[in-house]
């Protein structure tokens, strides 16, 4: 969405080669592909510095990488799976944030947008570590805002409901994606990725300068815990 409006966008990916190449073909002048593991600080730092060296600045960071492992009851959960969720969902946010802060502080401006989940307030059975990893992201958002607001850096978090993505389909299956999850929202449908892109763009370029340290709810009413029939 930002590239469509002429912004230079660094797109990080790890496995989705074809999707990344398709994006670069659509916006060859605006998209820089950055392939690194967000949970590895050295990789994140090198990848982000590569973007900064090319474009000489970095105005916004969107931390949207996330994973959810197969559902397991807390008593049966292997801590290695929980560790992987925290490594990507939480530590990944910390790694990328630390990598961009020097540039933003130097320029005296910037915004960091973190992505959370309705699982923080309404966890489903089997998603304890995923919910906890996203709750940590919301807390980290507030901490960044407190430390860097006076240096011109804003940080906000967007809490999302069910979004029509491959990860959702892999997690809840076809029936869950087409029937169950939409019914749990007040609007009776999944959110489209393009709608999230519009929200992100509005936070970056729109007149929302006072939004920092906030977690903004975009769950389509999922957080109200009702079904509309």
Assigned CATH class of 36-224: alpha beta
From the list 130, 140, 148, 222, the catalytic residue is 130
Predicted pLDDT at 228 = 47
Active site (annotated) includes residue 130: yes
For residues 74-99, average pLDDT: 91
Instruction: Indicate the SS3 state at residue 228.
Output: coil
User: What was the pLDDT predicted at 186?
Assistant: 86
CB within 8 A of 106, min separation 6: which ones?
none
Q: Which helix (H) or strand (E) holds 35?
A: strand 31-35
pLDDT at 3 over 90: no
What are 133-190's pLDDT values in tens digits? 999 999 999 999 999 999 999 999 999 988 877 777 777 677 667 777 778 888 888 8
Average pLDDT over residues 30-34: 89
Q: Can you tell me the distance from the alpha carbon of 41 to that of 18, in angstroms, rounded to the nearest whole number? A: 25
Residues 6+ apart with CB under 8 A from 39: 87, 88, 91, 92, 95
- Assess whether pLDDT exceeds 80 at residue 72: no
* Best-predicted range by mean pLDDT (1-5, 19-23, 186-190, 197-201): 197-201
- Confidence band, pLDDT 50/70/90 cuts, at residue 12: very high
Nearest-angstrom CA–CA distance, 135 and 129: 10
Query: CB–CB of 153/110 below 8 Å?
Result: yes
**Percent of the chain at pLDDT above 90?**
54
pTM above 0.95, yes or no: no
pLDDT (0 to 100) of residue 88: 96
Answer whether 145's CB lies under 8 Å from 212's CB: yes
């Amino acid at each position: 969405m930002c590239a469509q409006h002429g912004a230079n966008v660094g797109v990080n990916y790890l496995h989705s080669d074809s999707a990344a190449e398709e994006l670069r073909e659509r916006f060859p002048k605006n998209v820089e592909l950055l392939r690194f593991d967000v949970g590895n600080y050295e990789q994140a730092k090198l990848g982000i510095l590569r973007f900064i060296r090319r474009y000489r600045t970095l105005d916004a960071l969107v931390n949207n990488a996330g994973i959810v492992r197969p559902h397991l009851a807390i008593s049966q959960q292997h801590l290695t799976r929980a560790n992987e969720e925290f490594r990507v969902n939480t530590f990944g946010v910390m790694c990328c944030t630390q990598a961009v802060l020097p540039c933003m502080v130097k320029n005296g401006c910037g915004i960091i947008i973190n992505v959370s989940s309705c699982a923080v307030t309404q966890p489903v059975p089997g998603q304890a570590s995923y919910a906890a990893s996203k709750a940590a992201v919301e807390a980290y958002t507030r901490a960044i805002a407190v430390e860097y607001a006076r240096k011109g850096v804003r940080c906000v978090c967007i809490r999302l409901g069910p979004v029509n993505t491959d990860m959702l389909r892999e997690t809840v299956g076809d029936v869950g994606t087409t029937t169950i999850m939409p019914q749990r929202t007040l609007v009776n449908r999944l959110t489209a990725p393009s709608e999230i892109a519009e929200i992100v763009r509005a936070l970056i370029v729109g007149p929302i300068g006072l939004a920092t340290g906030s977690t903004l709810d975009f769950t389509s009413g999922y957080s109200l815990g009702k079904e509309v029939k």
